[in-house]
Every structure is written in C-alpha cells, then in structure tokens.
Amino acid sequence: MKIYLFRHGKTLSNEKKTYTGSIDVDLSSKGISEITKYISKKVYPDNCQLFTSPMLRAIKTLEMIYEDDYIVCNDLRETHFGDWEGKSYQNLKNDPSYLSWINDPLLNYPPNGESFNDFKERVINEYKNILLLNNQDKVIMSHGGTIRAIMSEMVDPSKSFFDYSINNGLGYVLEYESNKLVAYKEINE
C-alpha cells in the first residue's frame, strides 16, 4: 500500500509568508497554475482513496486533481496559530511571546493557539486511523505542518519536524507492507 502526502496548492498567504493555520483561504492564481502544471506532468497517482483537510485550500487542490469522492478529516488541518494568524515574521519579530516560540516551539505556543504537542497528537491519531482503514493506496491532501508532523513522528524520527521542506502541490510517498513502513521518497515535479 502507498500513502501519498500532498501539500495544498499555493495561496496568497503562502506568497506573503503569513501564518495561516486556521484561516480558510483559497488558492492563489499562481497556486492554480502550479497544480495545473503538476496535473499535466502526471505527478498525482490514480485509483487511490482520497482524504483531505477541511480547509478550503486543501479541498480546492484535491478537487482540481480528482473528480472522485473524498473523505474530509478535521484533524488533518494545520496548526492553529492563535493571535498570530494572518501575521508574518516581520509583524511579529519584536513580540516576546513569538520570540519565545521561535526559540522553543515545543514548550511555547501562540497566544490563543494550539500547542505543538496537541497539534502533533491529533494529526498522528488521524493518520493512524487512515492507515488502518484498508490496504488501498491513499492520497492525503493537507498542509506543510501536518506532513512534517507525520514525517518526523511516523517515518524518520531521527529528523526533526523542521528538517522537512514541502513545496506547495508536492509531498512524499510512503510505502507500507503488512502495515510496516518499508520505503519513502519525496515527490518532485
């Protein structure tokens, strides 16, 4: 069985480099263009069971690629950045709570936001539920943080959450045999 982890297409928030965990934004024209290009290059697999975050950017990306039915999984959403939603590093670089979080995101979290441990726990629990459903190949359309949580916890714990870079519209493929991970690789265009 293969599980494909894809990050949604680019949004204006991605282009502006703002924290947009729980803000429901659509794809940008650049994001639509990139996904269209990846579709023509046949980056995305066929005949898979489909799962998506409930966020518009993930659903729109999945619907651009596939016409099939999909399952919306609330716990695949990005972390909630609380008071920092919609703000960039430039907006926050003098905020003491933000600097504390940058220095130690495992112990600190955004005001009125989600802790890293809570975020990771909900994502991993949802991923395990999806993994155990059946032996059909699966596509999971979600977010950069969601994929990083899965990769750092379930795939290669020797790498940290921040070691993974996931381009919009791309991701990783994980191969399982008898519910055991046997291989993984990055998906490039």
The pLDDT tens digits of the residues spanning 22-66 come to 999 999 999 999 999 999 999 999 999 999 999 999 999 999 999
Q: What is the pLDDT of residue 38?
A: 98
pTM: 0.95
Q: Which helix (H) or strand (E) holds 5?
A: strand 2-7
Residue 7 to residue 57: CA distance in whole angstroms: 9
Confidence of residue 160 (pLDDT cuts 50, 70, 90): confident
Q: What is the dihedral of CA 124, 128, 130, 133, to 10 degrees?
A: -170
CB distance 119 to 25 below 8 Å: no
Going from N- to C-terminal start, the domains of the chain cover 2-187
For helices 56-65 and 29-40, the axis angle rounded to 10 degrees is 30
CB distance 179 to 130 below 8 Å: no
Give me the mean pLDDT over the 96-115 stretch. 93
Higher pLDDT, 135 or 61: 61
Give the number of residues written for the chain: 189
Question: For the domain 2-187, what is the CATH superfamily, name and number?
Answer: Phosphoglycerate mutase-like (3.40.50.1240)
